[in-house]
């Protein structure tokens, strides 16, 4: 720890979710002596978001079971957590932030961990629809659960067939509703995966009684006496008591932009998560950052990225010269199926599928650019996921014919080229 | 009620008590260093890796297939490895000793 840092220094963090909270604890671990002050709009103690659309939606649990850290942990580490308060302006000149309650907080180092918010598409009638919710916060889940319990017909329409939309559909089905997913593209998960994977999930939902309909572009919503009619471009209509909107996010980067920080598809940061102001860092969903492994700038919406960038920023502020060079990973749980992904598949020109012998819900998809492994998606296949992680890291050549031969045991020694 | 002892990678003993939930959650709630629980306890991240004291394997039982696969190529895993988010707290675990595994 450099002598430059003292007890008098203040590190302010905007946003206390995966990125902000992990950052605060990492900063202490790295030896920061000064104050650490977190602000978040959300009044609840910071919690894990992934379960919101999965197990949490169907459980009776309160959010206490899903906390990122216990209330005592913040006290023990002298992390000053301010909930229900948001930052409305960053003044870089006098190094302060202005708060929603009118307060002003000085900082020496500032970390922006503002994440993203659900996008609400400009569909006529969407503002006046009844029981229409996004799914990003614990409060959203609370609203969905309450509306569901109070609803007689329990007809739920999910707009958007991405991960959050599909997970929500699976969870609500488990609660016993009638669930329809409307996806504008010609297949679900179109932006993020291959036709094989999209097909697998479409079938999985069909088997479980969820109607997943593609090529359904919602153009308006009519609401009358608590009942919504959703109208699609092709003229099809759907009745819904509850509508969940899961069509993607908008990055919370307005604060950064107004403060004159460099912005692209997110807040632009370097390999230490630093912005173009040397005293301001940005981490998590809100950042547009360089991934050295894939040699390009990306924005990621994942716990992995939030946590890893948090560690990097904490180390950088404590002058330890870290570099962000993680290989992205992600998971999704729907029904009893577990998807685990590692790497970034964009730019692939060869896809191989390995099906495990005698099991039709256990397979993996391997994305290559020529001979270079870019990414692996495993369905109920943690082994493929860990092997993929290792192979991508090591960059060794894989014997593609052995990879697709399910009789060859899944071991590094069997799959690498001599 | 179960008393569980974590031995951290720098050899500190932390003994805590829990009544329900997973051992990972108990560790996180008590700030046991080295147990991060990034995936929230769904066997997807391996940041809750521990080694069960050999004489206590009976208390915990053995790892599921997916858990084993998650640990398969981990540099620090051995026959006593578990992902402690997969260990449900019950009286059976009383007295359990877990060594927090190293990580990269
Ligand atoms: C339903 C759901 C399921 C998911 N499932 C998975 C999954 O299975 N696997 C996975 O890897 N990822 C998953 N994710 C994504 C993952 O949760 C995000 O990548 C992660 O939460 C990003 O963390 P973050 O801290 O960068 O941003 P966020 O979690 O978005 O947090 C940003 C915080 O900043 C606060 N904030 C914003 N502006 C201000 C301001 N001006 N002042 C004060 N506070 C402010 C917000 O209130 C919020 O709490 C899921 C997300 C959701 C919503
Ligand atoms: S907490 Fe992620 S695997 Fe245990």
Question: Has residue A329 been placed in a domain?
Answer: no
Q: Is B66 on the interface with A (CB under 8 A)?
A: yes
Question: Has residue A4 been placed in a domain?
Answer: no
List, for residues A91-126, the tens digit of each pLDDT value. 999 999 999 999 999 999 999 999 999 999 999 999
List, for residues A303-322, the tens digit of each pLDDT value. 999 999 999 999 999 999 89
From the CA of A299, the nearest ligand is: 1
- Examine the domain organization and report whether A96 and A24 are in the same domain: yes
Res A414 pLDDT > 70: yes
List, for residues A177-198, the tens digit of each pLDDT value. 999 999 999 999 998 888 989 9
Q: Which of these, A331, A330, A311, A336, lies nearest to A322 by C-alpha position?
A: A311
pLDDT band at B41 (very low <50, low <70, confident <90, very high): very high
Domain that residue A241 falls in: 126-247
Q: Is B10 on the interface with A (CB under 8 A)?
A: no
The CA A353 to ligand 1 mean position distance, Å, reads 32
Domain termination site, one of A228, A247, A266: A247
Query: What whole-number distance in Å separates Cα of residue A335 and Cα of residue A156?
Result: 17
Res A2 pLDDT > 80: no
For residue B34, what is the domain's CATH number? 3.10.20.30
The CA A250 to ligand 1 mean position distance, Å, reads 11
The distance of Cα A205 from the centroid of its chain, to the nearest Å, equals: 22
- 8 Å CB contact between B68 and B82: no
Domain that residue B42 falls in: 2-100
For residue A291, what is the domain's CATH number? 3.50.50.60
Question: Has residue A293 been placed in a domain?
Answer: yes
* Nearest residue (CA) to ligand 1, atom 35: A15
Cross-chain Cβ contact A70/B30 below 8 Å: yes
The CA B37 to ligand 2 mean position distance, Å, reads 5
What are the tokens at B62?
């053995």
Max distance between CA atoms of chain A, in angstroms, equals 69
Mean pLDDT of B37-62: 95
Q: What is the pLDDT of residue A4?
A: 58
Cross-chain Cβ contact A50/B40 below 8 Å: yes
From the CA of A48, the nearest ligand is: 1
- Examine the domain organization and report whether A213 and A261 are in the same domain: no
Q: Of the candidates A65, A333, A390, which has its C-beta nearest B42's C-beta?
A: A333
């Amino acid at each position: 720890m450099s002598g430059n840092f003292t007890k008098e220094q203040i590190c302010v963090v905007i946003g206390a979710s995966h990125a902000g909270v992990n950052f605060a604890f990492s900063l202490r671990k790295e030896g920061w002596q000064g104050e650490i002050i977190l602000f978040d709009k959300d009044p609840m103690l910071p919690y894990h978001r992934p379960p919101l659309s999965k197990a949490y939606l169907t459980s009776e649990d309160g959010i206490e079971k899903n906390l990122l850290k216990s209330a005592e942990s913040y006290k023990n580490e002298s992390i000053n957590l301010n909930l229900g308060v948001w930052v409305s302006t960053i003044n870089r000149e006098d190094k302060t932030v202005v708060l929603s309650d009118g307060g002003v907080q000085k900082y020496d180092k500032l970390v922006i961990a503002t994440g993203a918010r659900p996008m609400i598409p400009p569909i006529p009638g969407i503002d006046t629809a009844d029981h229409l919710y996004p799914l990003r916060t614990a409060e959203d889940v609370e609203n969905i659960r309450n509306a569901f319990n109070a609803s007689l017909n329990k007809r739920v329409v999910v707009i958007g067939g991405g991960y959050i939309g599909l997970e929500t559909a699976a969870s609500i089905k488990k609660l016993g509703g009638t669930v329809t997913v409307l996806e504008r593209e010609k297949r679900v998960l179109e932006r993020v995966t291959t036709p094989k994977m999209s097909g697998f999930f479409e079938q999985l939902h069909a088997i479980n009684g969820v109607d997943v309909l593609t090529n359904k572009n919602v153009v308006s919503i009519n609401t009358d006496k608590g009942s919504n009619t959703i109208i699609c471009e092709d003229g099809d209509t759907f009745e819904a008591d509850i509508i969940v909107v899961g069509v993607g996010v908008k990055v919370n980067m307005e604060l950064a932009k107004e403060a004159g920080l460099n912005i692209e598809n997110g807040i632009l940061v370097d390999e230490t998560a630093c912005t173009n102001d040397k005293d301001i860092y940005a981490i998590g969903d809100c950042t547009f950052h360089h991934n050295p492994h894939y040699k390009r700038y990306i924005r990621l919406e994942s716990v992995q990225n939030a946590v890893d960038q948090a560690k990097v920023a904490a180390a950088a502020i404590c002058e330890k010269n870290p570099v962000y060079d993680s290989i992205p990973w992600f998971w999704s749980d729907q029904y009893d199926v577990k998807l685990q992904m590692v790497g970034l598949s964009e730019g692939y020109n060869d896809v191989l599928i390995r099906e495990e012998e005698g099991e039709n819900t256990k397979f993996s998809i391997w994305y290559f650019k020529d001979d270079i492994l870019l990414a692996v998606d495993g369905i109920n296949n943690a082994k493929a996921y860990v092997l993929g992680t290792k192979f991508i890291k090591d960059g060794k050549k894989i014997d593609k014919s052995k990879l697709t031969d399910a009789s060859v045991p899944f071991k590094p020694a069997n799959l690498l080229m001599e | 009620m179960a008393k569980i002892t974590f031995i951290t990678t720098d050899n500190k003993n932390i003994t805590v008590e829990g009544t329900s939930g997973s051992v990972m959650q108990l560790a996180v709630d008590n700030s046991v260093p080295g147990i991060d629980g990034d995936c929230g306890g769904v066997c997807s991240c391996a940041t809750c890796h521990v080694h069960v004291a050999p004489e206590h394997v009976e208390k915990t039982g053995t790892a599921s297939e997916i858990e084993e696969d998650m640990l398969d190529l981990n540099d620090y895993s051995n026959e006593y490895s578990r992902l402690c988010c997969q260990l449900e707290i019950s009286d059976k675990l009383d007295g359990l000793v877990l060594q927090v595994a190293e990580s990269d």
